[in-house]
Each structure stands twice: as C-alpha cells, then as structure tokens.
Structure 1
Amino acid sequence: MKIVHVEAIPFAIPYAKPLRFASGEVHTADHVLVRVHTDEGLVGTAEAPPRPYTYGETQASIVAVIDTLFAPRLLGLSALEREVAHERLDRTVGNPTAKAAVDMALWDILGQAAGMPVSGLLGGYTDRMRVSHMVGFAPAGQMVAEAERVRDTYGVTTFKVKVGRRPYTDDVDACRALREALGPGAELYIDGNRGWTAAESARALREMTDLGLLFAEELCPADDVLGRRWLVERCPVPFIADESATSAAEVTREILGGSANAVSVKTARTGFTASQRVLHHCEGLGVPVVMGNQIDGQIGTVCSVAFGAAHRSSARYAGELSNFLGMSDDLLTEPLTIEDGTLRVRTGAGLGIGIDPDKLARYRQDR
C-alpha cells in the first residue's frame, strides 16, 4: 500500500443559510478535498475546511502546503507508516486541517485494506451518535424558529447556541427564548467563540443560571490567562476548551492551569490519530469531551461521527454533526440523513465516502 499520489482539490459550495458567530461568519464552504492514492488502487478520502479567523489557513494555503510540502514527503511511504507520515508533516508548523485531512485519508485506506469500517478500527463502541445542532447569531425569534424546525424535522433535542455579541443581553434574551420554546427536555449549551470578556461572561452566566445550561465554551480569549481562570472558578457548568486545546499538550495546560474543565475534540483539525491522543488524555485527566464541528460539510461529518461513535467518552454527549444542513449541496454520492436525532456511522470498509464526479466537476475551483 505505497502512497503514489496525493490530491488537494479546492471546491466551493454556497450555504443556503450563512452561519454567523462571534469570530466570523461563513457564506460558502470553500473546502479542500484530499485524496491519497496507493499503488494497490485504494484511495483514502477526507476534506480540509479552512478557518482563517481561527487557525490562519485558507483554501489556497491548504492546497499549496499539500502540493508543495506534504505530498513529496509522503510519496513512497506505506499507508501503515502513519507515525513516519506525521513526523514528516510536523516538520511544517501549523496547518492543522491540512494535516488532519491527510491523516483521516490514511485511516480510510487502512479500513478499506482491512475490509472494516474505520469506526471499528478506532474502537467500535456504537453505530450512531446523538446530534447537536448549532444555532448562529440572529434575532431571538429567528433562532427559536430554526431550533424548532430542526427539532421537528430531524428529532434533534440538543442545541449549541452561539453567543458573544455585545451587548451580551441579546444573547441572554435569545437563550431564554430558546429555553421557553424548547422546554426543559432540550439540552442547551453556549459557545462564545472568545467574543466576551471574562467579566461579561460572568454576568451573562449569572443571568442564565435558571436555564439549565449543559456547557459553556470559549466565552473569552484564551490568552486572557488570569481572567479565564477567574471565570472558570465561577462558571456553574463545565467550561469547554476548544480553540485553546488542540493537542494533548494544550489540554494539559488548560486543564491543570484551571482555564477549562471540558474539551472539544474536532477531527477536522486533529484527524483521527491526534484526536485519539487528546481523547485518551482527557479520559486520564477525568474531564468530559464533546465532539465539535469545524463547520464541516458531509465529508467531514462522516469523519466526525466515525470517530465519535468509536469511543465511550466521545459518544456520551450529542456531537455537533448537523452543520451540513445549511449547505446548498455536497459532494457525496449518498447524502447523510439525520433520523430521530441521531446520525449513523457509515457501513462498509473504510469511511464509506463516495464522491459524485459530476458534483465535484461542478464545484471544484481549479478547473
């Protein structure tokens, strides 16, 4: 299973409904399809979603780093030599989603070669995950209408509410309206994308103490070290580290430093190999994990649910697996379907990703 070719294909698919949050907004899924080819004809597939406002990557930079640096270092390696591959990729600083996509494509090859689903290779805990839906910035009435539509259509009862606006009272009002509309049976948690100060976060949390929030995520900047520790000490619910905890080392820093007590795992930025290290590290530290979303399309969501369903600790809470619903189209030959609030792992060998060639031809940006 020698690697003979690595493709990085830019594509762009508009969102039917843009997602707005404190650190930016997304109108188009300008992602990169990554395919790793072997001499035995096996092809591993994944996608890299650039998030320039979070990690500094763009669609062009992902294509460039894979074509000019990663691909030459991978050619000739066996797909089994994942540690060697990571050693070579890590010679280049940063570029997390590009590295993650290569890693997941290699796992896809291993699953195909073994005739097993990747989720089974990773752990095989369950065959599905409960779905959490992200509700972006909008007037409170529109946020409620979206949540009710997703609940009634797909059976989803867990909602991650984007907050971080100023004044923070807009977000408090929206969360209160969501709780009143969805009732006590719905799970609600908030994500500030670092938009508030520690003081604003504390005031907002005090005003929402009666809403029964499940988590609070990245309400204030990670580099506000003292303010963040002060906030976490006062936070009435587990405080999730997301952008501040992208590796096992950063998890150690955030948890032992008192800056968080839960962690978001995103396969789009850490692949399967590094995500598993983060997950096991969190288990050792005794902190909960949530499967996060990098505003993934359906390809990325296939990867997230494969990983999340593979482990007990990552399957405990609903995973953020529904953002593809806002896209106007996708590349899969067999689209994903959320039923009864859950998303199933793809069956068959590997990740089960089939790319529609006509759709790829329509949306790719390099031809």
Structure 2
Amino acid sequence: MKITHVDAIPYRIAYRKPLRFASGEVHAAEHVLVRVHTDDGIVGVADAPPRPFTYGETQRGVVAVIEDLFADQVVGASLLERESIRARLDRTVGNPVAKSAIDMAMWDALGRSLNLSVGDMLGGYTDRMRVSHMLGFDSPAAMVDEATRMRDDYGITVFKVKVGRRPVSLDTAVVRALREGLGDDVELYVDGNRGWTAAESARAMAEMADLGLTLAEELCPADDVVSRRWLVSRLDIPFVADESVTTPAEVTREILGGSATAVSIKTARTGFTGSMRAHHLCEGLGVDVVMGNQIDGQLGTACTVAFGAAFALTSRRAGELSNFLDMSDDLITEPLTIRDGELAVRPGPGLGVEIDPDKLAAYRIDR
C-alpha cells in the first residue's frame, strides 16, 4: 500500500444557475480531481474545490502546490502513515483544500485496498443522512419556488438561506417569504458568510425572531472579536462557526472564546483526518455540529455524507448535501440520488464511487 504517484487534474463543469452569497458567487465547478496511486494498482480519488474568497486557494494554485510540493512529500509513504504525511504537508502554510483532497484520496485508496467502506472505517454509525438544501441570493419568489421544487421533487424539508446583504431588510424579507410560502413544517436557518456587522446581524435576527430559525451561521466576521461575542451572547439559537474554524485549534478558540456555540465541519477543508479531530473536539465540548457544503460536486458530497453518517453527533442534523443538483453534469459514473429528503452512503469499498473517464476527458482543462 505504498503511494507511487499523485495526480492533480483541473476541470470545469458549469452550473445551471450561479450560486450567489455575501462573500462571492460561483458560476462553475472549477475544481481539481486528486488521485492517489499505489503500488498495488489501487487509485483513490477526492475532489478539491478551491474557494479563493474564503481560503485564498485557486484552481491553478491547488494544482501547483500538489505537483510542486505535496506529491514528493507523500510518494513512497504507506497509506497508513496518515499522521506522518499530515506533518509533512503542514510544513507548508495554508492550502487546506489541497491537503484535504490528498487525505481523502488516501482514505479512499485504503478502503479499496482493504475492501472496506470509508464510512465503516471512520465509525459506521448509520448509512444515510437527512439533506439540507442551500439557497443562494435571489428574489423572494424565486427562492420560494426553488425550495418548493426541492421539497416536491426530493422530499427536502431543511433549508439553509444565504443572507448578509445590505440593507438587511432584503434578506429578512426573503426568509419571511420562505416561512410563509413553505409553512411551519420546514426547518430554516441562515448563513451570512460574514456579510453583516454584529449590529446589523442583531437587528436582522430580531426582525426574524418569529420565524422559528434553528441556526445562525457566520453572520459577521470572526475578526470582530468583541462585537461578535456580544452578538452571540444575545442569540437564543446556536451560532455556527464555519469559515472561522478551518483547523481544530480554531474550533477551540471560537468555542472557548465565546464567539460561536456550534461548528460546521467541511471535509473539503479538513479532510477525513482533520474532520475527526474537529468532531472529537465538538463532542468533548458539547457543541452542535452541521456537515457543511463547499459547493461540492457529487464526489465531494459522497465524502461529506460518508463522514457525517459515521458519527452520532454529525448525523444528528441534516447535512448540506444537495447543491450538486445545480451542476450541469458530473464526473462519477453512477449519480447520487436524494430520496425522501435523505442521501445514503454509497456501498462498496472506499467511497463507493468511480470516475467516468470519458467525462473527465471532456471536462478537464489541462489538455
């Protein structure tokens, strides 16, 4: 189970409609497919979705750091040497998505080698998760229509609503329209992507106090330390740290510092190994967890549901697992299917997914 080669293949697949939110917008999945090859002929895969407006990584940067630095640091190592490889990669600052994709591709390769699923190797708590759908900026009518379609077609009844615009009334009106249009049987929560100040956030949450929201995520920047703590102390629902918890150390800082009361775990930025560390911290500290979405394609979503279903804490809430539905195509041979508001973990060794070589050839942009 020695690693012999690492590929980093950039590709581009358009979205049917852009996803817009406070920190940016995405018109296409401009991701990097990472493949880890072993001397047994096994190939593990994972997806790296760069988000320059959040972590500073770009598609070209992910390819460059893997090809120029990381590949040489993992080739020759065993798939079991995860801690050693993590230490080598951490000599390079940042690059969370590139590091995470290598980590997850190694887990996939290990599962294929041992004929075990990644979900079972991680914990195997359950085999499915409820699905939350993320709604980007649009008019109130369009967002209600999208949510209604997701409920009618896929049985999804949990929605994360992107907010963070100015004036705040733009977004509070949208959330109110969603509640009135969908009724009381759906769960709604909001994500500001750091778009408001703490004062604006407090005003918005007061305006929405009667709408039964269940979570509020990253309404204002974590760097606004005093005002953010003030905001969190005023809320009567969990405040989710997302962009501010890219490492286990940041999880500790945000929770113990009073800047958040819940955590979003994204396998795209902490891999499986780092996500386990974040999970165990949250479990020990007694804080809620949401499995987040980095605007993942189906491969990234397969990683998220495999991890989220592996533990009781991460499977408790609906995971953000549906935004691949907005992509015009994908790379895997058998599409993921959401039924009755749930997504099942793929059976089979590793992640249980295969890359379609013809689609990869059609969408890769390095040739």
After TM superposition, the score normalised by the length of structure 2 is 0.99
Q: How far off its partner does 1:182 sit?
A: 1.1
Alignment match, 2:249: 249
Q: Structure 1 regions of 5+ residues with no counterpart?
A: none
* 3-state DSSP of counterpart to 2:293: coil
Query: How far has the Cα of 1:55 moved from its partner?
Result: 0.3
- Corresponding residue of 1:170: 170
3-state SS of 1:343 partner? strand
| SS at 2:352 equivalent | coil
Q: Deviations over 1:135-157 (max 9, x none)?
A: 00001000000000001000000
Q: Where has structure 1 moved over 3 Å in runs of 4 or more?
A: none
Question: Distance between the aligned counterparts of 2:11 and 2:141, measured in 1?
Answer: 34
Structure-to-structure mapping, 1:71-110, within 5 angstroms: 71-110=71-110
Aligned 1:291-302 pairs, distance under 5 A? 291-302=291-302
CA-based RMSD: 0.5
Partner of 1:285: 285
C-alpha distance after superposition, 1:26-67 (max 9, x if no partner): 001000000000000011100000000000000000000000
The CA distance in 2 between the partners of 1:154 and 1:169, in whole Å, is: 30
Kindly state the Cα deviation for residue 196 of structure 1 after the two structures are TM-superposed.
Answer: 0.3
1:133-144 mapped onto 2 (5 Å cutoff)? 133-144=133-144
* Deviation readout 1:83-126 (Å, 9 max, x if unpaired): 11111111110000000000001111111122111000000001
User: What residue number does 1:193 align with?
Assistant: 193
In the TM superposition, 1:1-367 aligns within 5 A as 1-367=1-367
Question: Aligned pairs, how many?
Answer: 367
Post-superposition CA distance 1:3-33 (Å, at most 9, x none): 1000000000000011000000000100000
Q: Partner of 2:355: helix, strand, or coil? A: coil
Task: Name the % identity.
Answer: 70
Partner Cα separation in structure 2 for residue 225 and residue 297 of structure 1? 34
Deviations 1:285-323 (A, max 9, x none): 000000000010000000000000000000000000001
Alpha-carbon distance in structure 2 between the residues aligned to 1:26 and 1:306: 25
Contact 1:209–1:236 (8 Å) recurs in 2:
no
- 1:324 deviation in Å? 0.3
The residue identity in structure 2 corresponding to 1:40 is D
Instruction: Report the Cα offset of residue 78 of structure 1.
Output: 0.6
Please say which of residues 323-332 and 107-116 is displaced more in the overlay: 107-116
Q: SS of the residue aligned with 2:338? A: coil
TM-score, structure 1 normalization: 0.99
Gaps of at least 5 residues in structure 2 are: none
Cα distance in 2 for residues equivalent to 1:30 and 1:242: 21
Distance 1:274 1:264 in 2: 13
Whole-angstrom distance in 1 between the partners of 2:161 and 2:26 = 16
